[in-house]
Structure 1
Amino acid sequence: MTILNTNSMPIDQTTWSRRDYFYYFTKMMPTGFTLNVDIDVTATKEWLAARDLKFNAAYLYLVSKVIAQTPEFRIGRTEKGQLIRYEVLHPSYSVMHTDDHSISSLWTAYDPDFQQFHRNYLADLATYGDQRTPMPKAPQSGNVYMIGSIPWTHFTSYTPLPFTPLNTYFPIIQAGKYELEAKRWQMPLSVTIHHAVADGYHVSQFLEQVQLAFDHPEVWLAS
């Protein structure tokens, strides 16, 4: 069983290296941006198939594990407005009901052990997956981020459009349909982030680590 990790540390904005950038990109020129790339998922897809494990669970886990190593992606706020950095983020994702194509939003507690996370994921699907409501499993913490998949479309661009003010500065991650190209499985991946907390360099480093994770499932999923 996973103990829900809600650990966080306050950010001292008087010494924070991004203090001026945070002010600029939230007050003077509020800005976010999206990067879209193709990720080679061949090694992970084959590794999972040989073990009869779910690809979506591995996708959620690997992205969450890389986020746990990316401090710029884990910044939120308290109710009093204090900026904080969480230790981990828990993935919130959609499941589709095949009969009417409606969706429900679930979340699964992140666990550093993939096998435990896989069990958590399957348990959440079994408990909440057939409930026809937007959010059958209520969030129990503030450190839940949006990560999704559109497995029917291999897109070249995906940009979410929030219509309410942000309460956190977490990334929004979206994957698309993986397709076979030159004997390699390529999956489109979109990352949207607020410029107040991250620049193109940080997102590029994040994407590089995600590719590394998918290239080496024997290390990232078996450890």
Structure 2
Amino acid sequence: MQDPIVVDLDSWPRREHYEHYRNAVPCTYAMTVELDVTAFADALSRSVRKTYIAQIWALATVVNKHDEFRMCQTESGALGIWPIVHPAFTIFNRERETFSCVSAPYDANFGAFHLSAAALLESHRHATELFPHGAPVKNSFDVSSMPWASFTGFTLNIRDGWEHFAPIFTLGRYVQREGRVMLPLAAQIHHAVADGFHMARFVNDVQELLSEPDWLG
């Protein structure tokens, strides 16, 4: 694991915003959107690829594209940026009605990522521990899926959440509307590291990936 790159606050354009939302008014915010996954769902219906893994890869690809979604606090308390981050995602145990959480190393090649993530899903679908691989790596972010219900709003209430810089994503159940397939996505982030502009850009980049799913192979 590479060490995070320390941000030079003196030259960083968001220094004042960071210090305000880190110290004066510490806060996180959540945004729930519907993504048009019509083309994505159609391509997957003709593929052996797993939907959940493809969703995770799309999120991880855009997260790794933008610095603001890879930020952390270093051991010395400085603001840092991980060179790469990996998705930690939940796996549902149907028999126990519980879930486990595992991490898959991000790979820009979807086929390679799918191979390792699919193996994790298969080997841990009956896991009884919350973290069968141990605690997620430090340079990770969280993804969970709630495919049993659609939603128009979803917020996690995390105690001391203003200490958590990594984004958190929750996926919902597909919704059919006017001939289109829509996917609810809730995203939560610390305001110290990302503003509404950054979140909107993130959503637009994910939408672009899902609208042009040639990468599914």
Give the TM-score of the pair, scaled to structure 1: 0.92
2:169 aligns with 173
> Which AA in structure 1 matches 2:19?
Y
Residues 1:188 and 2:184 aligned together: yes
- Unpaired runs of 5+ in structure 2? none
Q: Is the 8 A contact 1:6 1:141 kept in 2?
A: no
Aligned partner (choices 37, 48, 59) of residue 55 of structure 2: 59
SS at match of 1:118: helix
Per mean C-alpha deviation after superposition, the further-off stretch among 190-199 and 128-137 is 128-137
Residues 1:151 and 2:147 aligned together: yes
Q: CA deviation at 1:131?
A: 1.5
Residues 1:30 and 2:26 aligned together: yes
Report the Cα distance in structure 2 between the residues aligned to 1:38 and 1:47, rounded to whole angstroms.
19
Residues 1:198 and 2:166 aligned together: no
Q: How does 1:208-219 map to 2 (within 5 A)?
A: 208-218=204-214
Q: CA deviation at 1:26?
A: 1.2
Residues 1:122 and 2:118 aligned together: yes
2:45 aligns with 49
Residues 1:70 and 2:70 aligned together: no
Q: CA deviation at 1:78?
A: 1.8
> Which AA in structure 1 matches 2:115?
R
- Unpaired runs of 5+ in structure 1? none
Q: Is the 8 A contact 1:128 1:137 kept in 2?
A: no
> Which AA in structure 2 matches 1:62?
A
> Which AA in structure 1 matches 2:179?
K
Q: CA deviation at 1:10?
A: 1.5
SS at match of 1:162: coil
Aligned partner (choices 75, 80, 89) of residue 79 of structure 1: 75
Give the alignment's Cα RMSD to 1 decimal.
1.6
> Which AA in structure 1 matches 2:73?
R
Against the structure 1 CA distance between its residues 65 and 36, is the aligned structure 2 distance closer, same or farther, given a 3 Å change threshold?
A: same
Deviations 1:22-61 (A, max 9, x none): 1100111111111111001111111122121100000000
Per mean C-alpha deviation after superposition, the further-off stretch among 8-17 and 164-173 is 164-173
Report the Cα distance in structure 2 between the residues aligned to 1:164 and 1:17, rounded to whole angstroms.
26
1:141 aligns with 137
Aligned partner (choices 4, 27, 38) of residue 8 of structure 1: 4
Q: How many residues align structurally?
A: 217
Q: CA deviation at 1:7?
A: 5.5
Deviations 1:165-216 (A, max 9, x none): 5554111111100111112110111111111011111101110111101000
SS at match of 1:14: helix
Report the Cα distance in structure 2 between the residues aligned to 1:166 and 1:106, rounded to whole angstroms.
24
Residues 1:111 and 2:110 aligned together: no
Aligned partner (choices 12, 15, 21) of residue 19 of structure 1: 15
Aligned partner (choices 128, 134, 142) of residue 132 of structure 1: 128
Against the structure 1 CA distance between its residues 6 and 176, is the aligned structure 2 distance closer, same or farther, given a 3 Å change threshold?
A: farther
Q: Is the 8 A contact 1:75 1:168 kept in 2?
A: no
SS at match of 1:39: strand
> Which AA in structure 2 matches 1:46?
D
Give the TM-score of the pair, scaled to structure 2: 0.94
Report the Cα distance in structure 2 between the residues aligned to 1:86 and 1:128, rounded to whole angstroms.
27
